Amino acid sequence: MKFLVKSIVLALAMTGAASAAQAADYKPRIIRFGYGLAEDSNQGRAVKFFADDLAKRTGNKLKARPFGNASLGSDTQMQNALIGGAQEMMVGSTATLVGIVKDFGVYDLPFLFNNEKEADAVLDGPFGQKLAAKLQEKGLVGLVYWENGFRNLTNTKRPVAKMEDMQGIKLRVMQNPVYIDMFNSFGANAVPLPFSELFTALETKTVDGQENPVNTIQSSKFYEVQKYLSITKHVYSPWIVLASKKWWDGLSADEHKAINEAAAASRDFERKDSREASVKAIDFLKEKGMQVSVVSDTELARMREKAKPAFDKFAAEGGADVIKELQAEIAKVRK
Ligand code: TK8
């Protein structure tokens, strides 16, 4: 009798951890999670982290399956697949959401944030959350912001240390009017293209240059097809983790909780990982033969001035309030 009680107690203890997950309302699910960058990138590592974390939380019931290298499509194609319910999750640049919620273009106005700390506070605070919530009525759930990073310029034509050096450079930008206006105002010739077509466009010299954070310049091997890197940090670029609203609405409260918690954990992991990687990336790119120009503060101030029309146009086209709100929020976190 005593033995029987003991073994029951032992059996209960052994299944304790698993039964916590079993007691919760999780159904076995495969979550197709698409992203644009390489598996070995800050984006790929964080998607993997999310998948592992979610599996642990749910006793392996919720299985996120990563699809990297835009194998499920470009950012905008994946957004549409999420809206239609043909794909469950993705991560991509907020900049590519402007076709769905125009206000997302506000993050792309140049020289808003001075550092990552300011960006974290604004994105995770009421401003970032309110903007993300606007996606719901369009069929998307914005879960968390990850760091893409401060964007820098590369090209094959010449070193760019001042605005005039950009003259006539055919520059790939994201499919977003703020970038097109900004780089045209600097004198470049902006060509909007999806990221998934970028490497080939650089390799075939369809475009001369592009702009992205140093981590992406490294993980996408742009150093193989680009000679000059300019540290411009013209925009702090967020990524956003999205879920299909159609799919999300069919999940249980426990499943929502597990996904939200895994998303928050992945955000913390991703930001730390990205920041560590970006410290090493410039040296790596130099070793690969890139020539690095540091653009002076005076030059950056000239670019900021020159980009004013991009602000004005964004404001005139319905973005005046959201610019004001964002600037007020940045001023608040700066204090
Ligand atoms: C990846 C893109 C990328 C972005 C771009 O899908 O397109 O230049 O910076 O991170 O979202």
Instruction: Note whether 103 and 131 are within 8 A (CB).
Output: yes
Are 325 and 224 members of one domain?
Answer: yes
* pLDDT beneath 70, residues of the chain: 1-22
Q: Where are the alpha helices (DSSP H) in the chain?
A: 2-23, 42-57, 75-84, 116-124, 126-133, 177-185, 198-203, 214-219, 245-248, 253-287, 297-306, 308-314, 320-334
pLDDT given for residue 4 in this prediction = 55
Write the CATH number for 303.
Answer: 3.40.190.170
pLDDT given for residue 23 in this prediction = 83
In tens, the pLDDT along 305-319 reads 999 999 999 999 999
Total count of domains within the chain: 2
Q: In whole angstroms, give the CA distance from residue 269 to residue 250.
A: 28
Range of the domain at 167: 152-235+288-334
**How long, in residues, is the chain?**
335
**Dihedral sign, CA of 97, 307, 293, 278?**
negative
Q: 79, 99, 100: which is closest to 89 by C-alpha?
A: 79
Among 67, 148, 274, the mutation site with the greatest number of ligand 1 atoms within 8 A of its Cβ is 148
**Among candidate residues 264, 280, 296, the one where a domain is terminated:** 280
85: amino acid identity, one letter: G
- Tell whether ligand 1 has an atom less than 6 A from the beta carbon of residue 93: yes
10 part of a folded domain: no
Question: Between the CA of residue 199 and those of 159, 203, 219, 233, 275, what are the distances in Å?
Answer: 20, 6, 11, 21, 24
Q: In whole angstroms, give the CA distance from residue 71 to residue 89.
A: 13
pTM, two decimals, is 0.94
pLDDT given for residue 36 in this prediction = 98
Rounded-to-5 percentages of helix, strand, coil across the chain: 55, 20, 25
pLDDT given for residue 14 in this prediction = 46
pLDDT given for residue 159 in this prediction = 98
pLDDT given for residue 5 in this prediction = 54
Are 132 and 36 members of one domain?
Answer: yes
Are 190 and 208 members of one domain?
Answer: yes
Are 130 and 60 members of one domain?
Answer: yes
- Tell whether ligand 1 has an atom less than 6 A from the beta carbon of residue 147: no
Instruction: Note whether 223 and 288 are within 8 A (CB).
Output: yes
Instruction: Note whether 188 and 169 are within 8 A (CB).
Output: yes
Question: In angstroms, what is the span from residue 195 Cα to ligand 1's centroid?
Answer: 5
